[in-house]
Amino acid sequence: MSDLQTKPTLATLPFGAPTEQVMEIFQRDGGLILEGALTAAEVAAVNADLDAVLGAMHSGTIKDDPDAQAFWGPKTKRLTNVVTLSPTWRERLVDRDETYGYVRRVFDGVSDSFWLQASQAIEIQPGERVQPLHRDMGNYPVFNQYGPTGPEVTCNMILALMHSTEAAGATRIIPGSHRWDFSREGTQEMTIPAELKPGSVLFYGGKVIHGGGANVTANVKRRVIASSFNPAFLVPEEAYPFVVPMDEARKMSPRLQQMIGFRSFHQRDPRGGSLWQHNYEELALHLGL
């Protein structure tokens, strides 16, 4: 039997499937595909929000560090603050009961409230090589010591805005690797591509080994939005309060305002206090929201 036949596959459910069902697979495999989160019209609207900005931006990072350059990808564009740029994305993916329900369950027993960790469009251009494999919880390395049984501190919905095919650089993932001892890093040969149709998402946890794929096409871009979350007591990737204009934040629901730091965070289960306040009171009062 070839390696290919023995590789685990990713399960697929419709976006909106009951949380119980989604979490059963999420916990078993470390991630799954949720199909049809956005309609074709919504995907077109999000692309229209991003086309000009992405078209004008450079590939690769300006950092000198070779590890940072490899992780970023020299032929990859990374555009953050999509929460400001695309009202359709934030309303139809992030601020949605289904998404909120799934993410709450991922952080059950860890934190009652959470940040939108990243709202990052990732466009892999032709000729890009594979991204180094990693676990997204690497943002918070203190938790590595707890290994696979430690708390879940990150989850991500990678939303496809174009066909995310293996050839164009679909995310590569090792299902089940969230249960491995953290001394195991996995190899590219062990990964499978999480191919996505536009509007579908790859939903996975912070302990799963994965990375962006190589784009071996001549002229096909792979555009997704990494829509990730972290417990409220940890710092997110994006400094939203400094980059989201107040007028834009006012248009958002209280739930989304909280997810990007325009409201305080409250911890009830597990029992805890409140964070991110002013005068030890709700931040939104100070901001007039």
Ligand X SMILES: O=C(O)CCC(=O)C(=O)O
> Which residues lie near Fe ion (CB under 5 A)?
136
CA dihedral sign, ordered 203, 206, 209, 210 = positive
Per the omega criterion (within 30 degrees of 0), is the bond before 198 cis? no
- 157-196 mask for ligand X (x: CB under 6 A)? -x------------x-------------------------
Backbone angles phi, psi at 151, to 5 degrees: -65, 150
Out of 205, 212, 231, 236, point to the residue binding ligand X (CB under 6 A): 212
81 binds, among Fe ion, ligand X, none (CB under 5 to 8 A by kind): none
Q: Is 153 in the site for ligand X (CB under 6 A)?
A: no
Hey, which residues between 55 and 94 contact ligand X (CB under 6 A)?
Answer: none
128 binds, among Fe ion, ligand X, none (CB under 5 to 8 A by kind): none
165 binds, among ligand X, Fe ion, none (CB under 5 to 8 A by kind): none
Distance of CA 143 to the CA centre of its chain: 19
Q: Is 33 in the site for ligand X (CB under 6 A)?
A: no
Location of structure tokens 């090589």: 129
Q: Is 211 in the site for ligand X (CB under 6 A)?
A: yes
Q: How far is the CB of 134 from Fe ion (least distance, A)?
A: 6
CA dihedral sign, ordered 226, 36, 232, 230 = negative
Q: How far is the CB of 105 from ligand X (least distance, A)?
A: 22
Conformation bin of residue 45: beta by default, left when phi > 0, alpha when psi is -120 to 50 = alpha
Task: Using the rule CB under 6 A, give the single segment among 2-10, 62-70, 89-97, 209-217 that binds ligand X.
Answer: 209-217
At residue 65's C-alpha, the angle toward residues 60 and 69, to 5°, is 25
77: Cα within 13 Å, side-chain hemisphere: 19
Structure tokens at 18: 């009951």
**Which of 116, 95, 140 has its CA nearest to residue 243?**
116
Out of 92, 135, 207, 210, point to the residue binding ligand X (CB under 6 A): 210
Task: Using the rule CB under 6 A, give the single segment among 14-22, 96-104, 208-216, 277-285 that binds ligand X.
Answer: 208-216
Residue 156: CB atoms within 10 Å? 24
Q: Is 198 in the site for ligand X (CB under 6 A)?
A: no
Hey, which residues between 133 and 152 contact ligand X (CB under 6 A)?
Answer: 136
Determine which helix (DSSP H) or strand (DSSP E) holds 88, and give its type and residue range. helix 87-89
Q: Of the two residues 168 and 252, which places its CB atom closer to Fe ion in the complex?
A: 168
Q: Is 238 in the site for ligand X (CB under 6 A)?
A: no
Q: How far is the CB of 205 from ligand X (least distance, A)?
A: 12
Give the integer Cα–Cα distance in Å for 220 and 127. Answer: 10
Q: How far is the CB of 202 from ligand X (least distance, A)?
A: 8
Give the integer Cα–Cα distance in Å for 280 and 258. Answer: 16
Q: Where do contacts with ligand X occur on this chain (CB under 6 A)?
A: 122, 131, 136, 158, 171, 210-212, 224
